[in-house]
A and B are shown apart, each in its own frame.
Chain A
């Protein structure tokens, strides 16, 4: 396993900038997630590490060795694709032994290692089957076994759960997460599913428009987003407009303390769970969405703005009800309007 570093990676296709100065480090043995909207540069970044894209600028290093111009077959990188990309003219076992065969490992050793991995992934009984006859989950396990068989410097997973049904996705997510921890693999996990990234990754990088917006643990990204984009992309955030002056922020319907002495117009990001009922602000319920254990309420505040908040699933609220709302100032984030980066700490 290795430490992988991307230094000022920039990738341009004609006039299109796909990746714009990305600096990232995947630490030895960690799983780094990359999340972001479609077209943000996630897959280009992954393909740059794999060697299928040569960056326009910047460099890629594995344990300090520059591999920017090293061809894919010499990088020792494991790839797992959303579409599985298995060799359908070969059996499951031959898929898994393929990388070892390319490395001239003896047939006996190849078979032994493949069988160990298939056992580990609980698909030993499928060894002689054709991949096309397997279910999506089984095929993805084969893809993972094939990539792990070569003991890669880094394992690159490109949306591996997309396309699987919800139940299988949850099960496979736990299994893969445990396996990566158990094998201490350095891995990059690209996904558009932030919940998946939060569950599986040690740290997460949020990409937008080819740039890294924030890198951190799932908790820090959720609780301390550095800008409006991260606040709204990761989880749900209510963005409220306020004016900061004299250590206070006036939101129109209530005031918050601001010990960072911001001045001027600000945006306050508050999660749905940062609002609670029984407060002094009268709000009108516009819509309710029942989600089992919880219920989401869309409520209109006195200043006309709309927020989403969460209540217990059994709570009986209907559109038109007037409820008392309060905001928990402890966890809200404050961003000066028009400036991308957050300048205040927690309230």
Chain B
């Protein structure tokens, strides 16, 4: 192979060298597993790739349980994402626009859940909202109701809080970066032109942070789809990650697991591509 002689050629070589680890990782941790999953889903035999069959795909399309899981996964992840991004906008706004006492402590508190495994988040939900939970018993004392009736850790509501708790820091991280780019002078111009703080946010700030909101939505939604530990412990709703675990661990049905995994991965890739189109389109009016 000839050595590069021009700066342009040397730059190309640097790009190739720097991107190589990513392509190796993408191939062996992404592309190859996808091919294996596709083969697995079309296998005639369980637990081994032998023969060809569309049975798993047929089951995925015809059996109502899989439609229900898909629906549960989508609405639950969407709802948790919308709430998390909305909270992320509020938190980023407060952190970026105001001078707060102990700001570093606040940032640490907000970002802390990102480091927690889903199982720990589920445990925290039980500690707070379970039958013996702090919040449950405090409300029970206050209202005179039964703590058993009030317990919500293993309900959809408890699971939802656990999801939101894990997702808010992810949304906030992306949005804080976007907020730092907002032209504060333009916001001041809007105020001087008669816009109230809310109107300024709606007409000036929101359009500017819109790409960040879309980016936060993409990241948070993908994270929401991938959450496993929390839902494994709380078991409040049948979602796709839980079902894959069930198909492999309980049913030993690797064909169905492969088919679900493939659909899941392709959906995520398509969703990311569609979402990124919105991120790059900055000239949008609200």
Contacts and interface: CB of A to CB of B under 8 A. Distances in A.
B212 to A, nearest CB: 13
B183 interface: yes
Interface stretch (A72-80, A119-127, A290-298, A309-317): A72-80
Contacts of A81: 185, 188-189
Interface in A67-91: 71-79, 81, 83, 85-90
A89 B195 contact: no
Contacts of A344: none
Given A98-B190, A99-B193, A89 B183 contact: no
Interface in A87-143: 87-90, 94, 98-99, 102-103, 130, 143
Q: Which of B194, B196, B204, B286 has the most CB of A within 10 A?
A: B194
A26 interface: no
A229 interface: no
A66 B68 CA distance: 64
Contact of A150 (B186, B193, B199, B208): B193
B93 to A, nearest CB: 18
Interface in B178-220: 183, 185-186, 188-196, 199, 203-204, 207-208, 210
Nearest to B189: A85
Nearest to B187: A85
Nearest to A133: B283
A146 interface: yes
Given A102-B199, A130-B283, A73 B185 contact: no
Interface residues of A, number: 31
B282 interface: yes
A141 to B, nearest CB: 15
Given A85-B188, A87-B186, A89-B207, A98 B193 contact: yes
Interface string A53-77: 0000000000000000001111111
B40 to A, nearest CB: 47
B285 interface: yes
A85 B191 contact: no
B284 interface: yes
A85 B195 contact: no
11 contacts: A78-B193, A83-B183, A86-B189, A87-B186, A88-B208, A88-B282, A90-B285, A98-B203, A99-B194, A102-B193, A143-B189
Interface of B: 183, 185-186, 188-196, 199, 203-204, 207-208, 210, 282-286
Interface of A: 50-52, 71-79, 81, 83, 85-90, 94, 98-99, 102-103, 130, 143, 146-147, 150, 156
